[in-house]
Amino acid sequence: MKTPRAFYQPLAIGAPAPLRDLPVQLERMIHFVPPHVEKMRAKVPDLISRVDVVLGNLEDAIPADQKTAARRGFIEMARENDFGSTGLWTRINCLNSPWVLDDLMEIVTEVGDKLDVIMLPKVEGAWDIHYLDQLLAQLEARAGISRPIMIHAILETAEGVKNVESIATASPRMHGMSLGPADLAASRGMKTTRVGGGHPDYMVLADGTAEGAPRAGFQQDLWHYTVAKMVDACMAAGIKAFYGPFGDFSDAAACEAQFRNAFLMGCVGAWSLHPSQIDIAKKVFSPEPGEVAFARKIIKAMPDGTGAVMIDGKMQDDATWKQAKVIDDLARLVTEKDPDFARVYAAE
């Protein structure tokens, strides 16, 4: 392990100094764009004003014979648009693929100064982050980039989950992590064919009665353990946790439920793969107005955050004050970016 001082040294001469704190940024949804499709690229100017992060995807879902077109399409969309306060990310191909070196060389060299975050798929351990960290420093130095590009890991292999804590703390470049339920299901040998969400057969059956009445089944959350493990690893490391993809675009209610479970557990956002999922993520990852109003009541009643008070019959103390602060801080961030929510929160 590196010494504390060495941890924050640039990894190449001329590379920017690593960040000590994450930039304060609203990232309720990471919106995936397939950049090899001209029609989709043409939607980017409109997407910039609708989403918190635009991501050009180069990995899975891009056909092998379109990998170069996707990379060049991403560079074009990065060059041609002003992203303002909206994040610009790319998901590169995985480290053992034949495409990743060119992804990094071309993207960092040509548009590295506009890129906020690189999403790295199939991260197995800290060694994957160390490799990318070093290479990015060399490329940043060569391209004269002044702001370090951050790394976001996808947690989508059994080994990655085993090593989640060392991945989260592998580098000051770490921005956060997303759960990748589709690859993780395959890696774990789960018997499913879905991209995220629940499964009706993963359930607990209520006890039988002497009368033999029908027994209710209660569906359980397949992802609870992994999301909890990821959130603890991320929050302990001071980085952000996200739920990843929800593949059934026709089931908005189930998507919303999956996103909300993640939000309640500590995640700050999720992926949107289709325009219909943007508003779902906005609704879920912006705190509920009633909760914001209650959080503000707590903060007002306990100005220095200590003591115990009763509000609406419920005991509040230092710990609920801290929860209230999480909600109020998020509401303020949402207010800065989103005029619709600003009006709703102000009215409460």
* Residues annotated in a binding site for Mg(2+): 156, 183
Q: Which of 73, 148, 180, 198 binds ligand O=CC(=O)O (CB under 6 A)?
A: 180
Q: Between residues 121 and 287, which has the closer beta carbon with respect to ligand O=CC(=O)O?
A: 121
Query: DSSP label at 263?
Result: H
Q: Compose the 47-66 pattern: x for residues touching ligand O=CC(=O)O by CB under 6 A, - for all others.
A: -------------x------
176 scored as a contact of ligand O=CC(=O)O (CB under 6 A): no
Q: Which of 56, 172, 176, 180 binds Mg ion (CB under 5 A)?
A: 180
176 binds, among ligand O=CC(=O)O, ligand ACO, Mg ion, none (CB under 5 to 8 A by kind): none
Q: Between residues 279 and 317, which has the closer beta carbon with respect to ligand ACO?
A: 279
Tell me the closest approach of the beta carbon of residue 33 to ligand ACO, in angstroms: 5
Rounded Cα distance, 71 and 242, in Å = 24
Which runs of consecutive H residues, i.e. helices, occur in the chain?
Answer: 4-7, 38-41, 44-50, 67-80, 100-111, 126-143, 158-162, 164-168, 181-188, 224-237, 252-265, 276-285, 289-301, 318-337, 339-347
244 scored as a contact of ligand O=CC(=O)O (CB under 6 A): yes
Candidate segments 94-102, 153-161, 313-321, 336-344, binder of Mg ion by CB under 5 A: 153-161
Candidate segments 22-30, 138-146, 180-188, 291-299, binder of ligand O=CC(=O)O by CB under 6 A: 180-188
Neighbours of 255 (CB within 10 A): 26
Query: DSSP label at 33?
Result: E
Binding residues: 91, 156, 183
Q: Between residues 148 and 181, which has the closer beta carbon with respect to ligand O=CC(=O)O?
A: 181
Neighbours of 317 (CB within 10 A): 14
Q: Which of 115, 151, 154, 155 binds ligand O=CC(=O)O (CB under 6 A)?
A: 154
- Closest residue to bound ligand ACO by CB: 61
Tokens read off for 167: 């991945």
Q: Between residues 61 and 235, which has the closer beta carbon with respect to ligand ACO?
A: 61
Q: Between residues 258 and 320, which has the closer beta carbon with respect to ligand ACO?
A: 258
Helix, strand counts (H, E) of the chain = 15, 12
Q: Between residues 91 and 331, which has the closer beta carbon with respect to ligand O=CC(=O)O?
A: 91
Q: Are 321 and 302 in contact (CB under 8 A)?
A: yes
Long-range contacts from 100-107, C-beta under 8 angstroms, 24+ separation: 102/68, 102/71, 103/58, 103/71, 104/132, 104/135, 104/136, 104/139, 105/139, 106/71, 106/72, 106/75, 107/71, 107/74, 107/75, 107/78
183 scored as a contact of Mg ion (CB under 5 A): yes
Q: Are 181 and 244 in contact (CB under 8 A)?
A: yes
148 scored as a contact of ligand O=CC(=O)O (CB under 6 A): no
Q: Compose the 281-320 pattern: x for residues touching ligand O=CC(=O)O by CB under 6 A, - for all others.
A: ----------------------------------------
34 scored as a contact of ligand O=CC(=O)O (CB under 6 A): no
The end-to-end CA distance of the chain, in Å, is 49
Instruction: Kindly identify the residues of this chain, within the stretch 86-145, that bind ligand O=CC(=O)O according to CB under 6 A.
Output: 121
Q: Tell me the three state secondary structure of residue 266.
A: coil
Run of H or E including 116: none
Residue 266: C-alpha distances to residues 191, 208, 327 (Å): 27, 36, 11
33 scored as a contact of ligand O=CC(=O)O (CB under 6 A): no
Query: DSSP label at 284?
Result: H
- Contact residues for ligand O=CC(=O)O, defined by CB under 6 A: 60, 121, 154, 156, 180-183, 195, 244-245
